[in-house]
């Protein structure tokens, strides 16, 4: 499951990747609120990308925390690594990409 705390009008949060169906959710609130979306992975899942974006011509948005969790991997916010999984699986990691 992807969970995040976001602030700003029309903020989208989603997950895409290999071996999984892309999923997303959004908020139309201007203040801080929590978003969650269920992510289903399978044996072919090798990479997941978590993304955020705002709606065209809306005010800027902020992301306070992000968590990607699932069976065998305890939830841990981005930047605070959890224990390694019991079996080989995609390893959650954090990255930030800033566009032009």
Total number of domains in the chain: 1
User: How far apart (Å, rounded) are the C-alpha atoms in residues 69 and 75?
Assistant: 5
Of 2-11, 39-48, 63-72, 83-92, least confident by mean pLDDT is: 83-92
pLDDT at 100: 36
Smallest Cα–Cα separation from 2: which of 82, 55, 70, 64? Answer: 70
Query: What pLDDT, in 10s, does the model give residues 36-72?
Result: 999 988 888 888 899 999 988 888 899 999 998 876 5
Q: What is the reported pTM?
A: 0.66
Asked if residue 77 has pLDDT above 90, the reply is no
Residue 12 confidence class, pLDDT cut points 50, 70, 90:
very high
What percent of the chain has a predicted confidence (pLDDT) above 70?
Answer: 70
53 close to 12: Cβ distance less than 8 angstroms: yes
pLDDT at 94: 52
The CA-CA-CA angle for residues 60, 67, 80, to 5°, reads: 105
DSSP E strand boundaries for 1-100: 2-7, 11-18, 23-27, 33-37, 47-54, 62-68
Instruction: List the strands of the sheet with 11-18, edge to edge.
Output: 23-27, 11-18, 47-54
What percent of the chain has a predicted confidence (pLDDT) above 90?
Answer: 38
The boundaries of the domain holding residue 65 are: 1-100
User: How far apart (Å, rounded) are the C-alpha atoms in residues 81 and 59?
Assistant: 32
pLDDT at 75: 52
């Amino acid at each position: 499951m992807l969970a995040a705390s976001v602030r700003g009008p029309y903020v989208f949060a989603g997950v895409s990747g290999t071996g999984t169906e892309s999923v997303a959710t959004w908020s139309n609130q201007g203040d801080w609120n929590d978003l969650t979306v269920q992510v289903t992975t399978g044996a072919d899942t090798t990479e997941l990308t978590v993304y955020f974006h705002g709606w065209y011509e809306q005010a800027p948005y902020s992301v306070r925390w992000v968590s990607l969790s699932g069976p065998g991997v305890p939830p841990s916010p981005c930047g605070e690594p959890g224990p390694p999984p019991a079996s080989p699986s995609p390893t959650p990691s954090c990255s930030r990409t800033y566009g032009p």
